[in-house]
Structure 1
Amino acid sequence: MSDKEEMASDGSLNVTLTLRLLMHGKEVGSIIGKKGETVKKMREESGARINISEGSSPERIVTITGPTEGIFKAFSMIAQKFEEDITAAMTNSNVTSKPPVTLRLVFPGSQCGSLIGKGGSKIKEIRETTGAQVQVAGDMLPDSTERAVTISGTPQAITQCVRHICSVMLESPPKGATIPYRPKAMPAGAHAVLAPQHHAQAFAIPGQYAFAHQDLTKLHQLAMQHIPLPSLGQSHPTIPGLDASAHTSSQELAIPNDFIGCIIGRQGSKINEIRQVSGAHIKIASATDGSPMRQVTITGSLASISVAQYLINARLSSMLTGLGVL
């Protein structure tokens, strides 16, 4: 048995792994805590090594290394901390539904195929088993062979999702050398898409990893694979009566007036992008006199509605936690 392997308490093999997270300054500050107390507690209780990259970049890399159980504990604590942040942000707001916790993994591109599975089967299985949303970016992160993998849901769902991801990493090791993603410092005076308080030129999903525009269609395609329906491109679905394109549903959301602008965007830019990515028809009702809420109706296939809700929640979550670009 190598020095990187040990027996877990239940007798199973406990292997040392490393997972990398992409975070922004405010997220990093949250897990560091006052005088580093929060991250110190996470290290002590999880037994995992948690290292945070230095630099002036708006993005930071958080590296978590340890036995698999230690990694699960560290992720559980980080997700729980972000959940507390969202709850605290909601205290003084009128938002009716709690946005999901979102973490962004930096994942070797050579292992992404195994994570997605044939025809999206693996990623669909993970989503259905854990209840977490999982999205894999279509393109590599700049100057690297890694991709962003966004996981979103309750802290419990995220932790279960990480268990599945670790299994994929162990079963399908990376092929060839991995060129790690290193965030670059923001040039002085630059309008960074990823920096808080700046207007983004690309649509940003939860946690504010901004996808280039060409990735939006790939996000949509991946989302299509997440539901137990045949491919939308099939003219003759393998399961009769489950052609998603032919079955239209409708979902209504109530969104506070104060936040409707963040969903619409400048001159309707954000709502138009959400419509384009999801393929859903989205109607925002006019403001009712005296009502603090606006009715939003989403119509389309189950897949389209799911993607639209996911992206709308992303905007709300970003605004609530102060991480987002409006």
Structure 2
Amino acid sequence: MSDKEEMALDGSLNVTLTLRLLMHGKEVGSIIGKKGETVKKMREESGARINISEGSSPERIVTITGPTESIFRAFSMIADKFEEDIAAAMTNSNVTSKPPVTLRLVFPGSQCGSLIGKGGSKIKEIRETTGAQVQVAGDMLPDSTERAVTISGTPQAITQCVRHICSVMLESPPKGATIPYRPKAIPAGAHAVLAPQHSAQAFAFPGQYAFAHQDLTKLHQLAMQHIPLPSLGQSNPTFPGLEASAPTSSQELAIPNDLIGCIIGRQGSKINEIRQVSGAHIKIASATDGSSMRQVTITGSPASISVAQYLISARLSSVQTSLGVL
């Protein structure tokens, strides 16, 4: 790194950078606060410009622009706010292990090689020096040249991680034009896509059904953080639409043999969890000679099938995340 860049990261030079975050609606609401008071305070105290994309998409882009030190302060405040949210959520649950704060950056694909480093050396150095978990998605986000970079850890570890990321951005500017990722709104009356962006590419489900987004976010966070899913039962009011009286249909998925174990879990614990939460009947076919895939049949109401599909997808995603192969 040059002396100029070193000085920039120390805050001695007024070098302006822009970082983009991908957030779910609930996370955005937490950042905005009542009548916009939280984001206003963050802007004033950090000195960074914090803009939140408009639209009806379940995902929003939060853009943070300013001198490097302002960016670090803004990230520190956002991470602290999410830490508070996690602590508040834990007071109303029986979960004993505290999940980490997780932020998703949207990063130009042309800079991801520099972030990963030769043979993964740079990303390993960042993980070891900050204590944060850093994962770079293998695929570009839809209709863009950007990738998701997921950071998990304590607020302090996340802020240190952002310092390293800013260093990479200064050292290795993007090559060519960057096509930014723009989350798509769900048209009125259309079916919602339930799988997370970085879910396993080996399967797809054509017939998605709309389901309350805040509920899906909650389920996805539980699955990604390896927290046991709640016992919900068919009539639980938190997850409407799982009534046993709804018309029954079935859906088939093909899942790679080497990932089927993470869906079943030890002595069937995971598949039973998914059955209990979704209310769907799930049957996993025996392995077929010469086939690398296993057939999974989900039967139940449309909403039950959607929840089961979503939980299977999130479970696969969490396993891939832990392996570093999003």
TM superposition score normalised by structure 1: 0.61
Q: Sort the Cα spacing of 1:234 and 1:312 in 2 relative to 1 into closer, same or farther, 3 A.
A: closer
The 2-side partners of 1:163 and 1:202 are apart by 35
RMSD over aligned CA atoms reads 16.2
Q: Is contact 1:145–1:181 with CA below 8 Å preserved after alignment?
A: yes
In the TM superposition, residue 68 of structure 1 has moved relative to its aligned partner by: 0.3
Distance 1:208 1:158 in 2: 35
Q: Deviations over 1:228-249 (max 9, x none)?
A: 9999999999999999999999
Q: Secondary structure at the match of 2:207?
A: helix
Kindly tell me: are residues 290 and 273 of structure 1, through their superposed partners in 2, closer, same or farther at Cα, counting changes over 3 Å?
same
| Cα pair distance change 1:4/1:31, threshold 3 Å | farther
Closer, same or farther: CA 286–22 of 1 in aligned 2, 3 Å: same
2:90 equivalent to 1:58: no
Q: Helix, strand or coil for the counterpart of 1:78? A: helix
Residues 253 and 297, structure 1, Cα contact 8 Å, conserved in 2: yes
Cα deviation, residue 104, structure 1: 0.3
Cα distance change on mapping 1:25 and 1:6 into 2, 3 Å: same
Q: Distance in 2 between matches of 1:245 and 1:120?
A: 52
Q: Give the CA deviation at 1:109.
A: 0.2
| Ranges in structure 2 where 5+ consecutive residues have no aligned partner | none
The worse-fitting range, judged by mean Cα deviation, of 252-261 and 7-16 is 252-261
Alignment-derived partner of residue 293 in structure 1: 293
| Structure 1 residue 285: Cα displacement | 23
| Contact 2:202/2:254 (8 A) holds in 1 | no
Cα pair 1:285 1:295 within 8 Å, conserved: yes
Give the 3 Å change call, closer, same or farther, for CA 92–247 of structure 1 in structure 2.
closer
Q: Is contact 2:242–2:278 with CA below 8 Å preserved after alignment?
A: no
Residues of 2 paired with 1:122 and 1:243: CA distance?
Answer: 50
Deviation at 1:261, TM superposition (A): 16
**Partner Cα separation in structure 1 for residue 272 and residue 233 of structure 2:** 23
Contact 2:22 2:59 in 1 (8 A): yes
Give the secondary structure class of the aligned counterpart of 1:205. Answer: coil
Rate the CA distance shift 1:304–1:288 in 2: closer, same or farther, 3 A. same
The percent of aligned pairs where both chains have the same amino acid is: 94
Unaligned runs of 5+ in 1: none
Deviates more, 1:98-107 or 1:316-325: 316-325
Deviates more, 1:147-156 or 1:205-214: 205-214
d(CA) in 2 for partners of 1:228, 1:277:
11
Deviation at 1:14, TM superposition (A): 3.7
> Residue 209 of structure 1: CA displacement?
18
Deviation, 1:262, is 13
1:2-21 aligned within 5 A? 12-21=12-21
Displacement of 1:92 in angstroms is 1.3
Q: Distance in 1 between matches of 2:245 and 2:171?
A: 35
Q: Secondary structure of 1:240's match? A: coil
- Whole-Å Cα distance in 2 between the matches of residues 152 and 320 of structure 1? 15
Deviation per CA, 1:92-118, whole angstroms, max 9, x where unpaired?
Answer: 111110001000000000000000011
Aligned residues: 326
Cα distance change, pair 89–320 in 1 and its aligned pair in 2 (3 A): farther
Q: Is the 8 A contact 1:137 1:147 kept in 2?
A: yes
Task: Map 1:114-193 to 2 at 5 A.
Answer: 114-193=114-193
Aligned-residue offset at 1:58: 0.5
For each residue in 1:46-79, what CA deviation from the matched residue of structure 2 results, as whole angstroms up to 9, or x when unmatched? 0000000000111100000000000000000001
Contact 1:206–1:314 (Cα < 8 Å) also in 2: no
For residues 210 and 147 of structure 1, what CA distance do their matches in structure 2 show? 26
Q: Cα 1:118–1:55, aligned 2, differ >3 Å: closer, same or farther? A: same
CA contact (8 A) 1:287 1:294 kept: yes
> 1:86 deviation in Å?
0.5
